[in-house]
């Protein structure tokens, strides 16, 4: 029989996260530590802005690059934060949409893409689908940015370095010193850094440092899904210094033939979101982080997360994380095996984006399983 499925489709697997998330529907009141989705809802004031936009007729296509007022406001914030005189902005269908556009604009077959391991699951599969080669740089056991290892991994084929801080799945926030050092290395090699900063507002100790402060050839991807609980609204943006404005221009061109534009009424609401204070949400998630860390630290090996809403926990025993995950799911706790995010199978990911009572319940079950 003639093969009808494209080879590129077979280079990627179904999302392990989504498989576990779907499993939640078949279990009775599980502790769902699987999906990275805030447990609070979109703030009422921002819902009102979206409803107002819909009722006012903002239901047609926007410009491909995004609503002009939204882009102007994002550009102004980027100027103030990084000192870039003329940043180029593209409004995307979520950071995930931005990643696809960026990779399509940058990666040729055979190009090497460097990423610390563990990594967000999407990076690996998109690079593979486009014919690139992933170069994984081990960051175990503390998950700090492995600057020297990255430097040693750069070759003539290196096209891109991926940075993700705060990190999914580890919750680690890279230090200013580490990020600055990476910028200096990238500058000597003239390599673009793509920085995925979807969790940049979720920093629990200090303000997150962005590579945009230290390196001009940085493509910054940020979004509205996590800080404002707009995961279903599919809204993000890409920002670039004028030295690599052509990257965003190519992404915009590709968007014409893929996403067309980001959802128009939600772009209108995003204008207001840029001024919305999410500090109460961050404070609440800091407490959730503490519930997880304090509850598990004497039974498991884990690094205290500094941001996002994940903990990457070493599975007890020698059987591997996947076996422990199966036991946890049989006990009604949904967690994700670390090999979804890594070339290793030693850890599991917890998303503590759920209610405090559920966190306490899940922590207690995991503690008993460790015993």
pLDDT of residue 20: 65
Instruction: Please name which of 36, 16, 120 lies closest in space to residue 309, comparing C-alpha atoms.
Output: 36
β-strand 192-196 against 158-164: which pairing, if any?
A: parallel
pLDDT one-digit tens code per residue, 245-270 = 999 999 999 999 999 999 999 999 99
pLDDT of residue 235: 97
pLDDT of residue 11: 79
pLDDT of residue 300: 96
Class of domain 7-42+278-370: alpha beta
β-strand 112-117 against 336-337: which pairing, if any?
A: unpaired
Q: What fold is seen in the domain 60-273?
A: 3.40.640
pLDDT along the chain (371 residues), means of 10: 84 65 70 92 97 97 97 97 96 98 98 98 96 98 98 98 98 97 97 98 93 97 96 97 97 97 97 96 97 97 97 90 91 94 96 97 96 86
pLDDT of residue 371: 86
The structural domains of the chain, with segments of one domain joined by +, span 7-42+278-370, 60-273
3-state secondary structure of 205: coil
Confidence (pTM): 0.94
pLDDT of residue 4: 87
pLDDT of residue 25: 65
Strands (E), the chain: 31-32, 88-92, 112-117, 133-138, 158-164, 192-196, 218-223, 236-240, 301-302, 310-314, 333-334, 336-337, 347-351
């Amino acid at each position: 029989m003639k093969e009808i499925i494209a080879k590129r489709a077979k280079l990627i697997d179904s999302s392990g996260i989504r498989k576990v998330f779907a499993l939640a529907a078949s279990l009775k009141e599980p502790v769902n530590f699987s999906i990275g989705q805030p447990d609070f809802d979109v703030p009422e004031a921002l819902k009102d802005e979206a409803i107002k936009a819909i009722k006012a007729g903002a239901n047609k296509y926007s410009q491909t690059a995004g609503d002009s007022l939204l882009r102007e406001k994002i550009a102004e914030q980027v100027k103030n934060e990084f000192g870039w005189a003329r940043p180029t902005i593209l409004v995307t269908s979520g950071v995930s949409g931005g990643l696809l556009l960026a990779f399509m604009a940058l990666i040729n077959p055979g190009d090497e893409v460097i990423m610390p391991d563990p990594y967000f699951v999407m990076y690996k599969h998109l690079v593979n689908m486009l014919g690139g080669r992933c170069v994984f740089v081990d960051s175990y056991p503390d998950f700090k940015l492995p600057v020297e290892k990255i430097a040693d991994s750069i070759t003539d084929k290196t096209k891109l370095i991926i940075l993700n801080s705060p990190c999914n799945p580890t919750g680690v926030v890279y230090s200013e010193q580490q990020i600055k050092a990476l910028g200096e290395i990238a500058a000597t090699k003239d390599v673009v850094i793509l920085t995925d900063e979807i969790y940049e507002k979720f920093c629990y100790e200090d303000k997150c440092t962005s590579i945009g402060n230290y390196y001009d050839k940085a493509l910054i991807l940020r979004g509205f899904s996590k800080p404002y609980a707009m995961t279903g609204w599919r809204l993000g943006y890409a920002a670039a210094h004028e030295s690599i404005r052509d990257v965003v221009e190519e992404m915009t061109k590709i968007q014409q033939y893929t996403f067309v534009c980001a959802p128009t009424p939600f772009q209108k609401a995003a204008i207001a979101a840029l001024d919305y204070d999410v500090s109460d949400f961050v404070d609440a998630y800091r407490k959730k982080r503490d519930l997880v860390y304090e509850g598990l630290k004497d039974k498991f090996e884990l690094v205290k997360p500094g941001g996002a809403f994940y903990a990457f926990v070493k599975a007890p025993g020698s059987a591997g994380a996947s076996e422990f995950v199966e036991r946890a799911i049989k006990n009604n706790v949904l967690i994700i095996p670390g090999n979804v995010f890594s070339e290793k199978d030693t850890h599991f990911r917890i998303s503590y984006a759920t209610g405090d009572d559920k966190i306490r319940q899940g922590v207690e079950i995991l503690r008993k399983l460790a015993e």
